Structure 1
Amino acid sequence: MQNHLIQILLPLFDNEGQAFSGVEYEGVRSELTKQFGGLTAFTRGPAEGLWAEKGGTAHDDIVVFEVMTVELDVTWWASYRRVLEARFRQDSIIIRAQQTRLL
């Protein structure tokens, strides 16, 4: 059976270096669990995102939330990405999807 694994990369800090409270992440957990029936959250040790920016290297400490779904509703995900960008005060939140097959 083909499924889609959707990963959401969320920052631990805003652009001014202030840590987000657990309320923001709990909202994401609740919304995704309600929408998809469950989720996996990688929150124990932050991952580090790196990218080239203005002649240097920028980074974010991030947590990753994952859901699996059979149908990939691109319109819903685009809308939800905008919600998360506003909530986490980010220019861009990465949400990516890949096809998977359960073994």
Structure 2
Amino acid sequence: MHASQALLLAVAGLAAAQSSTSSAAAGTSSAAGTSGCGTQIDSIISSCLGTTQAQLDACATNDWDCMCEQSNNVLTCYNNCMSDPRRNGVEQQNVSWCNAAKAYVRPQLSNQPEL
């Protein structure tokens, strides 16, 4: 299998996972008292997710740069409680989307100078 075919298959798998992961993250973000770090931290995380998850959900399908950036913003919501059980899944999704963003090379426009 050529490298480009392997990348295409990986990207397709990530796209399919996007909708289920976003839905799962949205479903768990509203659950109160699930961080294990106390109710005040739960409120901070919930408030943060209310903003950042909406921004992530607004990314277009296969817009890896947007999904990388916005999932990184979602990940920062867990900085006050690194042991939150939801953090690991968010971190794994962030790594996947950022790797896809790095692997995807956009064609240059003909009127832009090469760097």
TM-score with structure 1 setting the length? 0.37
Task: Identify the structure with the greater strand proportion.
Answer: 1
Higher relative contact order (CA 8 A, sep 6+): 1
Q: Between Structure 1 and Structure 2, whose CA radius of gyration is higher?
A: 2
Task: Identify the structure with the greater helix proportion.
Answer: 2
